[in-house]
Structure 1
Amino acid sequence: MLTPFSKTLRSLMGRGVGWLLLSLAAITVLSGLLAWRAQVSLGHLQRADRINRTLPQLNRLMQDLLNAETGQRGYLLTQKGSALQPYRDAVLGLEQRLDELVQRNPDPMHGPRLERVRELALMKLSDMSQTLRLHESGRHDEALELVMGDPGHMDELRDLLGELLTDLQSERAAINARLQRDASQAELLLLGGLGTLTVFTVLAVTQVISRTRAAERSEHRLRGIADNVPALIGQFDRHGRLLFANAAAARIFGFEPETAVGKTLEGLHGAQDVALMLPQVDRVLSGERVEFDADLVVEGQLRHFHQCFVPDRGAGQPEGFYAVSMDITERRRDEVRVSRSEKRLKAVTDNLPIALAYVDAEQRLQYANETVRSWLAVNLEDALGQTLEQLLGPELYAQRRVQLALALQGERVEFDTANLELGRLRHFKSIYVPDVGAAGRVVGLYILSMDITPMKQAEAQLAQLASSDALTGLPNRRELDRALDSALARQRRHAREGRAMALLFLDVDGFKKINDSHGHSVGDEVLRAFAHCLRRTVRASDLVARLAGDEFIAVLEDLNRPDEAASVAAKIVEAVRNERMAGLSVTTSVGVATLADGEAPARDLMALADRALYQAKRAGRNGFAAQHWPGLDSRH
């Protein structure tokens, strides 16, 4: 029959073994969870690393293509081969980099778009190469037509690159957020496991430590468990002398558990590290449970630990304490890598010539790069949390109100705006990308804004160049055709009121001889002076255009009678004869075609004026001849 002592002993032993087994199970589950968490985090980090390698490639690709397009536009503006130098620099090795970008990123999510980027970029490079070949072969007009006839590859390419950059940045932000959440959850799980382990270990040790041989066997089993848990466990008395250390602690700190027993904290870790831990030791010996992070030098290397000190309570004051530590060196390194990655990303976004921002569903600013700060001249720390209306002001906010509402409803919005800043008109292209949460609800907006003022100015210059003559500044043949069609349309209305119009065809008498005798530079000066004289002689409302070479056209509208055109022609002939151009005496011949109704086709009216010009030439030049649509003529 069992004695009360034996019953108590067996009860204590069974209870102690049960606590130890439960502790082992908890640690096993905890280890599995932590290993699983680490594997998932590693996958996220690898994905983030691929994204970090891809983003600079995409940014450089965007920059190279924009530089190449700048070369094309420069060529369009100047028609000089030197203007294509940005194109030559940009496309150097671009095709190889495009192949590497597609081959190194076999991601099924982004692969098709990367392949499309490569396809569009090669199409654009083919167009650019054709432009260069046409220029080098002297076929400038065909090169210009090829540049101006771009089918939109660059727009689709910029859109695809913008979407890829946005998607990759969003994915990277999601990965960083997930890693932070996983780290926090893992830390809570670890702390909970450590707390559980500590409680279980203390309960098991306190129940078997002072018992008989059975208790010693239980202690032996406890050591076996402690030696196999993924934690550093030690027990110290009130004087900081080691009473117990598991194998993990001995392995990490490089001592034998048996020979280390009795050593002080200073003897185990060194005076410098112990000085950092003494405040925590004082707290635990006062009865407080303490958790903290410590950086210790182990075998010449800095390692990071999360430590938990638990009082070893006796009848009164704690008799010592238990130290449970987790080596979090790798986690800290991961955090440092993530932090460096975020720092690099911030450095990139802060130096982009694009304003990047994020606002929540209430349109409050949560993030902005340095470009936003410089454009709005605000302190970013003060601006965070403010609404867009507060930051932009009522007028600028009103320009974007409708687009913001559409984006907050889940629609991707792209639009242009223009506003005056410091007396200067600036143009911006903005893109609003909804941030859709897990529930399908828009939780915020990514805002991208680019200053496209130089592009708009270039477009205006191109439009002006496309419609004007580079030498004289007069409208060119294309603008003349457009204006003449409009004038004939107006004449159909004026004819009902008995009014007329006229078309004057002029050239410089003997212009080829001027070029041959004095050179083309003098000839150009004569043409500029002739254009100026012609423009000065006719009314401000009359159209004067250069057709080609030394041929000019003047369109006279809203005449009271057709013969008023003859007076204008005579006035032009006299003005040219009386003015020395480039130091030379110059004369002109004028062909006049008049129209009293509005039914003459533009081409036929031009032909009629041309015939009148040749009549004036045959009559001896330095004069004019007039023909009235469709038949009468006169010579002067």
Structure 2
Amino acid sequence: MDSRTPDVIQHHAEHRARTHAAEPGTPAAVSRGYAAFADLVDLAPAAAFIRDRHGRYLWANHAYAHLYGTVPRQLVGKYIEDFDTPAEADRFRALDQQILARGMPVRHTLRYRRPDGSTGRAFGHRFPVREYARTCIAGIYVDITDHLRATAQRQEAEESLSALRDHSGLPCALLSANGRVIEASAAAAELLQIGLPDLLGRRAQTLLAPGPASDLDLLHRRWNSLIARRTRRVETTTLLIDSRGLQCRAEVHLTTIGHSAGRARHVWAVVTRQSLAHEAHPPLTAAQIRILSLLAQGSSNSDIATSLRLSRQTLDYHLSRLRQLLGAGTRPALVARAYVLGILAPQAWPPRSATAPHPLSPA
């Protein structure tokens, strides 16, 4: 309530303090008739008023007067036309007459001009009330302008997300807090080689390829941190497995939706980069990944052996083993396969592991 609130309270206190000998129909008598109603809703957030059958305001609370940028005592005794346009006043008068004729409440949406010049909307009821043997019209409204605006903004955001999901070409999915797929893009279904209807309702963990327990534990901890709202965004890499059993390394961005303080209900998962699908191969050691990154950098065997403090025989063994694991017969083929299979990060220089926790980490 702003600084005008005491004036409203004082206004009704003065009315109630007037003599009980006032004639029925005078402002003092009318004021006594609805004093209990005024006490109930005068300071309520809902906007309320009472008018007589001629469109003259007998009483209004602060919230209703605020709709017109004024205070209650400036409304009382005035007519509808003093505050509304002629067209609106005619419409309100017709509605009042309908209520008086039917003797029944009517639901109504009130449009009004806000102090900032924008159009506001309030929803409520108008209904007949008896005051000293005459029927008057009362109304009570709740301002829904901010609610409608928030709803429109939410709908616009949902449409934007739908456009991202359906037209960006990015594999993405909306996940519930327990990791179940609620929505998904056609690109996500194509990546996983699963029909879109079959993808919906799947548990996300069934789409992850078996891997080191430490990697899955890290992903699980990050997911729990998101759901508990200790963080809002997570960027991570993971191995996905499609319906054919082929794997691909994917970079995934996870973002919670909403700003509530409690647990997150939904998470958007967006795949921004992924390797080509391939058959599973044994996990590589940190030394083998470091060798691949140095090969991609153009280092010679001698330089690699010196950098990693390996003998030439040990390095030759690692290279032979890598050629077997990756199905590559030459050094250039080893580098190409390392990028295609998502072992090396495609947008990093110097070359580094795609799963390195830090951009400068070699492996």
TM-score, structure 2 as length reference: 0.43
Largest Rg, 1 or 2 = 1
Higher relative CO (Cα under 8 Å, sequence separation at least 6) belongs to: 2
Please, what TM-score do these two structures have when normalized by structure 1? 0.28
